[in-house]
Amino acid sequence: MNDKVKLVLASGSPRRLALLNQAGIEPDHLMPAEIDETPERGELPRKLALRLAQQKGELVALRAREAGIKAVVVSADTVVAVGRRILPKPEIQDEADYCLRLLSGRAHRVFTGLCVVSPRGRSRTRLVETRLRFRRLSGDDITSYLACGEWRGKAGGYAIQGIAGSFVVKITGSYTSVVGLPLAETIALLHGEGYPVRDGWDTRAA
């Protein structure tokens, strides 16, 4: 077995991969974790985000060990909430329409749970909370956004890095966390595990 520690991203999300690349990091493997993301009865948004991130990380870490891969695993899960109400990750327009109408003209919170699992199986987690406010959306705004399909599978029915960025009038906290992976916290956890986070920096264009 190669003794070099690999980096595994426990996600198939192109957004999370792009964020790691932005930080000069190229994962050695992408291993999406398929788990049941249904909230437990009475589960609060922050607890859900942390639980799912940790479950994903530990599942993929086990798969990596079984495959003989010595790896640090990064996993994350993002939850959008209005108060204690957890919004879905819509796959149908009716769900996305519900999310957009609920978010229109009001504040909400985005919680991203982050987990880094060491090669020895130790899990370290962080929870990042970001507060946002949407402008009031017109019926035409919602209809046109639904038609573009950008909302599909996104927490809260929107993607801030796309068209929906024009809906946001205020953000307090981490933008990259809303996209799906809080970079500052990810780099800090990886550095804490001894992963060489700066190795790729000298290959970046000035």
Q: Give every CB contact of residue 144 below 8 A, 6+ residues apart in sequence.
A: none
Q: Is 77 a catalytic residue?
A: yes
- 10 Å CB burial of residue 43 (0-12, 13-18, 19+) is middle
134 φ, ψ to 5°?
A: -90, 150
Catalytic residue among 3, 28, 36, 77: 77
In contact, 76 and 181? CB cutoff 8 Å:
yes
Q: Which two tokens stand for residue 78?
A: 């993002």
Q: Which residues of 5-16 are buried (b: 16+ CB within 10 A; e: fewer)?
A: bbbbbbbebebb
User: Which residues are catalytically annotated?
Assistant: 77
